[in-house]
Amino acid sequence: MMKFIDELKKEELDGKKVILRADLDVPLRQLPTANHQSSTKIGDDFRIRAQKETLDYLVDAGAKILVVAHLGHEVSDKSFAPVVEEIGKILGQTLTLVPHAELASVDILFRGGQVLLLDNIRQDEREVQNDEGLAAELSNGFDYYVDDAFATAHRSHASIVAVTKHLPAYAGFLIKKETENLKQAMEAPTEGKILVLGGAKISTKLPVIKNFLDRAEKILIGGALANNFFKMQGINVGSSVIDDSVFLDVKSDKIILPRDFLAGNKNSVSGSASVYNRIMSVENDEAILDIGPETIKEWTEIIKHAKMVIWNGPMGYSEHKDFAVGTKVIAEAVAAAGYSIIGGGDTIAAVDKLGLLDKYSFVSTGGGSMLSFLAGEKLAGLEALSYYEN
């Protein structure tokens, strides 16, 4: 059975050294400066803010914390150095950045500050290999391990899995919220439960669709995901995004596809597009870029009467204002639902731009991990924390 951080009382944490596996993998942007140079800034701080509750608990209890996190995909040479001060301000803590070469000297570094941040853990290639040697080096001299990085829970990496063999392991407050809410999404009654999926990665969302055929009343499929279904039905989707590597072997009356959509030339997007219904073939040089007005009307009505809505993935090319209407209206409809769960980086970016991020019942920090959980798969990080044990 998974143990949570609040099972550790202040007297058990006071003065103890704790590894906190956090999720600080956020988009960075380059801003011009007065001297024609560029300055690196955090593009979206949602995931960082989600770590604050657990870190505050440890700090208030008097623990000494080494925050371990990654930045970028797989093995990376990116460093937290340009943004460590900004991360500290978001978390309300003064962070001391620890290069990997100084990991063995953390006792000395703790004399100067209560919270240390190890530089990007994926700078060490052993991280993605789930290397026992790296796990031993990380845990040496520490008393507890706390995992609060739900977005990486589907990764079998050293700072997520192997390290739990060396230290007493606990889940942080964010993982507690994530598992409770996503479990509720799985187990809530089918009647009145609507699953809304968009985006482009059919390979990650097809398992979710299959798992929810008996768990949801309706499954609304928009974005590039719908293109695969259209193509399977013999509809010409022009130059729309398609994932030909996936065999679409699912059919159900519960799956609701767009009845119409906007299509235009994606190589010269100027805001001009044609409205198609789904029995009309798209021109070869055009791509489907958004759901159409009839679909918007139908889907908002479905969502309006839902008891629970789970949403992952925008409805089209929402980065362009002329093709963001479908995503905007669906975002507003889901926000007004009785109980709403959303997740996925593109989805969060879209609703944050609309100022709706705080309007949902729960916003998951996980993209791939949220989808894996909803697909009924076992997540390596949760398994390491004994989540699946009774």
Q: Are 66 and 132 in a shared domain?
A: yes
Do residues 17 and 62 touch, judged by C-beta distance below 8 A? no
Same domain assignment for residues 244 and 303:
yes
| pTM, two decimal places | 0.93
DSSP state of 162: G
For residue 137, give the nearest of 97, 108, 103 by alpha carbon.
103
Binding-site entries for ATP: 205, 319, 344-347
Note the pLDDT of residue 245: 80
3-state SS, residue 312: strand
Q: What is the pLDDT of residue 322?
A: 84
Annotated binding site for substrate: 47, 122, 155
How many separate domains does the chain show? Answer: 2
Write down the residue that tokens 């995503």 correspond to.
327
pLDDT score recorded for residue 238: 85
Q: Do residue 52 and residue 133 come from a single domain? A: yes
Whether residue 308 is contained in a domain is answered as: yes
Q: Are residues 265 and 313 in the same domain?
A: yes
Please indicate, yes or no, if residue 386 is contained in any of the structural domains: no
Contacts of 116 (CB under 8 A, 6+ apart): 64, 65, 66, 67, 95, 96, 97, 98, 106, 109, 110
CA distance 382 to 2: 8
Answer yes or no: do 133 and 232 share one domain: no
Same domain, 168 and 278: no
* Closest among 299, 307, 305 to 327, alpha carbons compared: 299
Among residues 136, 154, 174, the one where a domain terminates is 174
Same domain? For 72 and 192 the reply is no
Same domain, 248 and 282: yes
- Do 158 and 37 fall within a single domain? yes
List Cβ neighbours of 117 (8 Å cut-off, separation of 6 or more): 66, 67, 69, 80, 84, 87, 95, 96, 97, 98
Q: Which parts are annotated binding residues?
A: 47, 122, 155, 205, 319, 344-347
Which long-range contacts does 32-41 make (Cβ < 8 Å, 24+ apart)?
39/82, 40/82, 40/83, 41/83, 41/86
* Residue 194 covered by a domain: yes
- Judge whether 228 lies within some domain: yes
pLDDT for 265 equals 76
Q: 109, 139, 174 — which closes off a domain?
A: 174
Residue 279: predicted pLDDT: 64
Going by their DSSP bridges, the two strands 38-42 and 28-32 should be labelled as: antiparallel
User: Of the residues 154, 174, 194, which one is the last residue of a structural domain?
Assistant: 174
Is 159 part of any domain?
Answer: yes
63 in the same domain as 116:
yes
- Could you list the pLDDT tens digit for every one of the 390 residues in the chain? 999 999 999 999 999 999 999 999 999 888 877 666 778 999 889 999 999 999 999 999 999 999 999 998 877 889 999 999 999 999 999 999 999 999 999 999 999 999 999 999 999 999 999 999 999 999 999 999 999 999 999 999 999 999 999 999 999 999 999 999 999 999 999 999 999 999 988 889 999 999 999 999 999 999 999 999 998 888 888 888 888 888 888 889 999 999 999 988 766 656 567 787 766 778 888 889 999 999 999 999 999 999 999 999 999 988 888 889 999 999 999 999 999 999 999 999 999 999 999 999 999 999 999 999 999 999 999 999 999 997
| Residue 93 located in a structural domain | yes
Given the structure tokens 């550790």, which residue do they identify? 8
Long-range contacts of 339-342 (CB under 8 A, 24+ apart): 339/307, 339/308, 339/309, 340/308, 340/309, 340/310, 340/311, 341/181, 341/182, 341/185, 341/308, 341/309, 341/310, 341/311, 342/310, 342/311, 342/312
Verify that 298 and 253 share a domain, yes or no.
yes
* Distance, CA of 252 to CA of 12 (rounded, Å): 53
| Domain identity same for 152 and 236 | no
Expressed as residue numbers, the domain containing 344 is 182-374
Assigned domain for 380 exists: no
Question: Residue 263 falls within a domain, yes or no?
Answer: yes
CATH number of domain containing 235: 3.40.50.1260
CB atoms within 10 A of CB 161: 19
Predicted local confidence at residue 16, as pLDDT: 98
Q: What is the DSSP string of 86-126?
A: HHHHHHTS--EEE-GGGGGGHHHHTTT-SEEEE--GGGSTT
